[in-house]
């Protein structure tokens, strides 16, 4: 069980945690609502579809429910959820890696117009992030989805901060070069 001291945020959130830990299902429901988008989005980024992401997110929250008494503050809950979700995603991805669908032939069409609508650019960026190695990907997702700085990511994943920076540097260089090749 994680025992990482975190700064205490608003008193209301801490009270919610205390009530949930005391067995108040409604308070636990509020906790779930507070963090569902974060947990679901992390899982979605790794597993690729809503259904698998919801399964994993539900498992994470059920595990949270079992460990509520061990968590000391609302910030600690957030930290715990991010850490457990990240680890579960990496584990699940390793188990599933052999299942990933291979591709079929599609004729490449020439790129003519330079304008790429946001939807397509974002789709491409997400697709390239999805192809990063698992550890690099979780670092990138925590950095740009969760807006954590490298030091926070290092603590979360239990790896040296220089390793985080190295993952970020290499991933950005890789993404940049691939987008450039594709005529971004």
Partner 1 sequence: MSLEDDLRKALRRKAPPEGFAERVVARVVLPPAAGSLARRRQGRSPLVRALAVAAALVITAAAASYYRHQVVQLDGERAARELRIALQIASEKLALVERRVNRDDDTKASTREVPR
Partner 2 sequence: MSTWMRGLLCCAVVLWMPALASAQGARLQLDKLARLNAQASEVTDITLDPAMLQLAGNFLSDPNGGPGLKELLSGLKGVYVKTYKFDRADAYTPADVEGVRSQLTGNWVRLVSTQTKKEDGREIVEVYSWREGERMGGLAILVAEPRELTVVNIVGPIDLNRLAGLQGQLGIPNVPIK
Question: Considering only residues 2, 22, 25, 120, which one is a binding residue for partner 2 as defined by CB under 8 A?
Answer: 120
Contact mark string toward partner 2, 130..149, x via CB under 8 A: --------------------
Pick 3 or 102: Cβ nearer partner 2: 102
Using CB atoms within 10 Å of the CB of residue 128, give its burial: 0 to 12 exposed, 13 to 18 middle, 19+ buried.
middle
Question: Considering only residues 70, 91, 122, 182, which one is a binding residue for partner 2 as defined by CB under 8 A?
Answer: 122
Question: Considering only residues 7, 107, 114, 158, which one is a binding residue for partner 2 as defined by CB under 8 A?
Answer: 107
Q: Is residue 62 near partner 2 by the rule CB under 8 A? A: no
Gap between the Cα atoms of 89 and 95, Å rounded: 10
Question: Considering only residues 117, 147, 158, 180, which one is a binding residue for partner 2 as defined by CB under 8 A?
Answer: 117
Q: Is residue 99 near partner 2 by the rule CB under 8 A? A: no
Gap between the Cα atoms of 7 and 49, Å rounded: 34
Gap between the Cα atoms of 113 and 106, Å rounded: 20
Question: Considering only residues 97, 105, 147, 158, which one is a binding residue for partner 2 as defined by CB under 8 A?
Answer: 105
Gap between the Cα atoms of 155 and 132, Å rounded: 21
Gap between the Cα atoms of 172 and 175, Å rounded: 5
Gap between the Cα atoms of 154 and 162, Å rounded: 8
Q: Which spans of this chain sit near partner 2 (rule: CB under 8 A)?
A: 49-51, 104-107, 109, 117-120, 122
């Amino acid at each position: 069980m994680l025992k990482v001291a975190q700064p205490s945020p608003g008193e209301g959130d801490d009270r919610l945690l205390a009530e949930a830990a005391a067995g108040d299902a409604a308070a636990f429901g509020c906790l779930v609502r507070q963090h569902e988008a974060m947990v679901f989005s992390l899982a979605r980024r790794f597993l690729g579809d809503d259904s698998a992401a919801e399964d994993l997110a539900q498992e994470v929250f059920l595990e949270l429910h079992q460990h509520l008494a061990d968590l000391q503050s609302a910030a600690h809950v957030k930290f715990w959820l991010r850490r457990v979700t990240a680890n579960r995603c990496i584990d699940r991805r390793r188990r599933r890696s052999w299942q990933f669908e291979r591709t079929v032939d599609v004729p490449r069409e020439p790129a003519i117009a330079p304008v790429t609508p946001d939807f397509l650019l974002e789709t491409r960026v997400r697709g390239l992030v999805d192809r990063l190695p698992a550890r690099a990907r979780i670092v990138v997702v925590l950095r740009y989805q969760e807006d954590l700085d490298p030091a926070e990511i290092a603590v979360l994943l239990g790896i040296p901060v220089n390793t985080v920076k190295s993952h970020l540097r290499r991933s950005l260089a890789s993404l940049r070069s691939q987008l450039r090749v594709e005529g971004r």
